[in-house]
Structure 1
Amino acid sequence: MTGLLTSIQAALGLPHTAITFTSDGALPSAFAVTDLASASIAAAGQAVSQLLHQQTGRLPDVEVDRRLASFWFASSIRPSGWSVPPLWDPIAGDYATRDGWIRLHTNAPHHRAAAESVLGACADRAAMASKVAQWNKTDLEQAVVAAGGCAAEMRNWAQWQAHPQGLAVNAEPLVAFTAGAHHPGKPWQGSVARPLSGIKVLDLTRVLAGPVASRFLAGLGAEVLRIDPPTWNEPGVVPEMTLGKRCARLDLHDPADRLLFESLLKDADILLHGYRADALQHLGYGPAERQALAPGLIDVSLNAYGWSGPWQNRRGFDSLVQMSSGIAEAGQRWKNADKPLPLPVQALDHGTGYLMAAAALTLLARRLSEGLGGSARLSLARTAKLLVEHGAGPEAALRAEDENDQGLVVEQTAWGPAHRLQVPLKITGTPLQWTIPAGELGAHRAQWW
């Protein structure tokens, strides 16, 4: 745990301060998933503490419950009388090819269509399995990616180390900071209880990593406005991830919506985005354009496979990066299984999300003290390197979840009442609390409030 936290603190420029961790045990895995959960949440908490120290002169204590941190890396919401939709499309998953394994990610309709354009229409997993079995894994990965889909053949860590993309991402820092232009910005409007009060966060992220970051910032009092394209949906994660946010839709190919987006960006303090590296550039909103529209902007971004190398613009998700980088293969060997074994939770997503939040808070503190905007770049693949190189974690099991782990507040979501698990992070005087319940994408107007 100590080595992992120290690496994260160094990457974020945080002091190597000891943080209190409570609870024993760990999620079952070939890797130290519970350590990653605890350390990444701790780093986000420490960034809050440092911001408060800068603004108030007092340094709040930070404490993380390892057990609750592990649970939050799976899900935090506990519905009452309703169920969260399935996370995965019926044909998403791992398949045997002629010479190994491949994972197909088909949750988005256009990604499923891309896979089926290569393999043919498939009604179920059995049909897909018979088609995949006729391919070599490398050829199929390349064909699906070329069709605009998402796929990853299973490699081991040594193969990934020798792969051009593995070499590229392994040379990148965990968090790549860049200083922005001088901009006086506005003074701190927060308090110990709500340190991000008055901070506007424009959230262009999807699925898990970025939404974890914006959910955390919302819990500290930030105004979070999430923007999605007109037809995007991710029903399996929306109840989990929209807590504390207003969610609107804009079509950035539409001139009127572009003007609206630009007006929102001008007023934003923090921009979070998880598009492929070149996607915003193609829309006319590259880094230079964003800074011109919003001088002093704190611009925090992630992608799947890193920001250099031949795959820097490749579509990807946590489960695919686990296949590419050797994590699923290591899990298979660890369990002596007959198929790939991923991490027990989407730890690359969640871990990177808390690191994004910590980076945003670090940049905000710098802007408040020095009047400088700035950017930070992270990737799931670079977080994977951090996890793999840390090695195995504790073997003792976590105590099972029980009703006492749930908070007392009833969250009136768009689907029905729910509880959230108690928050794993304690910052003295600064409770994480959300004023907006989880709701549907596109439920609000695209405006600050």
Structure 2
Amino acid sequence: MSLLSALPATDSYRTTGKGALSSAFAVSELATATFGAVGQELARLTAALNLSSEMPAATVDHKLASLWYGFSFKPDGWEMPSLWDAVAGDYQTADGWIRLHTNLPRHRAAALKVLEVTADRTLVAQAVRTWAASELESAVVAQGGVAAAMRSRSDWLDHPQGRAISRDPLIGWHSPRQIKLRDRPEASATRPLAGLRVLDLTRVLAGPVSTRTLAGFGAEVLRVDPPGWDEPGVIPDISLGKSCAYLDLKSSVGLEKLQDLLSQADVFIHGYRPGALDGLGLTKAKRDELAPNRVEVTLDAYGWQGPWANRRGFDSLVQMSAGIADAGRDWAKADKPTPLPVQALDHATGYLMAAAALSAMAEAALGNPIMLGQLSLARTAELLAVLSKSETQESISGAMPADYDTNPEASGWGPGHRLKPALSVGAAKMVWDRPASKLGTSPPAWPSLNG
């Protein structure tokens, strides 16, 4: 089988543009390579489906790829909501640094309970200074919160979870099975994913990036969230091209509806930690029963084996754990954690998830067995750590007016402009059929089957 397992060779796609984001790590090179992985696998799928007389060529704009690793949407006359809660951030401990991630109310409550303070940043900082970093990290996690002590690269590589991650493949493939792809007569060389139904059960940020990418080539993406869920500083960026519905999966009616949606999906992308789907009754056996011909790709934060496999995490936390923020501090000659200039672990993992889904589809189209794909932010961090930086003196500091599409986008929050796409594959250009919309604004149904 030829399922994607590593970054593609640079000669498998053409690059334009130049420059680099300022970082101790090869962030721009990672951006271009992961877009290139999507391009390579979409080209393979296009050829396998006989949508083109020859293998189409993929082209990645290096600068735009770097910019898409940040925010892709620029509001016109209004401001995007803040990305971070008032308490979230890096704090000095008695022996180092720790990052508290408190964007979700339950995570904020857990951290404040451990620290025995109210949601006042000064009080939080004072309380944190009385703790050792690793002890506070453990206490917050035990309380149901999320936090990460800053470790050096060597400390992480010696850590039991760091050692476990080093044994993980970039994309883990398991549970081989034979599937038959559903016919999609609307698919073409210009819209190779037209009619493809992608069920999206992911949150900030990697999973939504993967499904946004598939939507750009014509896929019909349905994102499902719990009633009332929101990610204010993120959704305008990543709901592009999607239908967004609310479903209460704790109710029998909601769970039954989800099973119905899954039974009609071609691709299932989710971000549940190991065993979490089983808790909903959606065991692998049940998913195989409901959707035997699905392609499935998933991710977690800290990998799929080792003592932290079930630990909740986010890009900024994994950067602290895996030594990236500490290496950045040394590189910047700073006195505090220095993260990547963008949430590169999220974005890279998202594009690799999209590429993995396309890779599985290409194999299925060729009559080969496929497998379920697993990725993690922590394993992507290891990829970034060993990636070489290119020699360039030109810095990418932000988007210029010429980097945005001239056509306005009527998002659910107000008008704005979206970055120009960074990838094309032969005749296929990235175009989104729907503007970014607020969560819960669509019914929990496949649009093509809903009248």
Is TM > 0.5 for Structure 1 vs Structure 2? yes
Number of the residue aligned with 2:258? 261
Is 2:324 the partner of 1:327?
yes
Alignment partner of 2:107 out of 106, 111, 135: 111
Q: Does the aligned pair in 2 maintain the 1:32–1:394 contact within 8 Å?
A: no
Q: Does the aligned pair in 2 maintain the 1:192–1:430 contact within 8 Å?
A: yes
Number of the residue aligned with 1:356? 353
Distance 1:393 1:344, change over 3 A: farther
Q: Does the aligned pair in 1 maintain the 2:4–2:356 contact within 8 Å?
A: no
Number of the residue aligned with 1:5? none
Number of the residue aligned with 2:446? 448
Is 2:218 the partner of 1:218?
no
1:342-378 residue CA offsets vs partner (Å, 9 max, x unmatched):
0000000000000000000011112222164531000
Distance 1:268 1:372, change over 3 A: farther
Q: Shift of residue 282 of structure 1?
A: 1.6
* Unpaired segments ≥5 residues, structure 2: none
SS of the equivalent of 1:434 reads: coil
Is 2:167 the partner of 1:171?
yes
Number of the residue aligned with 1:96? 92
Alignment partner of 2:43 out of 34, 39, 49: 49
% identity of equivalent residues: 49
| Aligned residue identity for 2:150 | M
Distance 1:58 1:316, change over 3 A: same
| Aligned residue identity for 2:91 | Y
Output the CA distance in 2 between the equivalents of 1:435 and 1:10. 28
Distance 1:263 1:442, change over 3 A: same
Q: Does the aligned pair in 2 maintain the 1:210–1:302 contact within 8 Å?
A: yes
| Aligned residue identity for 1:240 | D
Q: Which moved more, 1:116-125 or 1:165-174?
A: 116-125
Q: Does the aligned pair in 2 maintain the 1:54–1:365 contact within 8 Å?
A: yes
What aligned pairs does 1:8-407 form with structure 2 within 5 A after superposition? 11-12=5-6, 17-56=11-50, 57-189=53-185, 190-370=187-367, 372-394=369-391, 396=393, 397-398=395-396, 400-407=398-405
* Unpaired segments ≥5 residues, structure 1: 1-7
Count residues with an aligned counterpart. Answer: 442
Q: Does the aligned pair in 2 maintain the 1:31–1:393 contact within 8 Å?
A: no
Q: Which moved more, 1:16-25 or 1:87-96?
A: 16-25
Output the CA distance in 2 between the equivalents of 1:275 and 1:182. 24
Q: Does the aligned pair in 1 maintain the 2:94–2:129 contact within 8 Å?
A: yes
Distance 1:98 1:435, change over 3 A: same
Output the CA distance in 1 between the equivalents of 2:188 and 2:383. 34
Q: Which moved more, 1:306-315 or 1:364-373?
A: 364-373
After TM superposition, the score normalised by the length of structure 1 is 0.95
Q: Shift of residue 445 of structure 1?
A: 0.7
Q: Does the aligned pair in 2 maintain the 1:322–1:342 contact within 8 Å?
A: yes
Q: Does the aligned pair in 1 maintain the 2:7–2:33 contact within 8 Å?
A: no
Number of the residue aligned with 1:4? none
Q: Which moved more, 1:291-300 or 1:178-187?
A: 178-187
Q: Shift of residue 399 of structure 1?
A: 6.7
| Aligned residue identity for 1:355 | L
Indicate the RMSD between aligned Cα atoms, in angstroms: 1.7
Output the CA distance in 2 between the equivalents of 1:390 and 1:120. 42
Q: Does the aligned pair in 1 maintain the 2:325–2:340 contact within 8 Å?
A: yes
Q: Does the aligned pair in 1 maintain the 2:181–2:361 contact within 8 Å?
A: no
Distance 1:426 1:185, change over 3 A: closer
Q: Which moved more, 1:393-402 or 1:113-122?
A: 393-402
Q: Which moved more, 1:112-121 or 1:126-135?
A: 112-121
After TM superposition, the score normalised by the length of structure 2 is 0.95
SS of the equivalent of 1:281 reads: helix
Q: Shift of residue 394 of structure 1?
A: 3.9
Output the CA distance in 2 between the equivalents of 1:400 and 1:300. 32
SS of the equivalent of 1:370 reads: coil
Q: Does the aligned pair in 1 maintain the 2:4–2:355 contact within 8 Å?
A: no
Number of the residue aligned with 1:419? 417
Q: Which moved more, 1:309-318 or 1:393-402?
A: 393-402
Q: Shift of residue 180 of structure 1?
A: 3.8
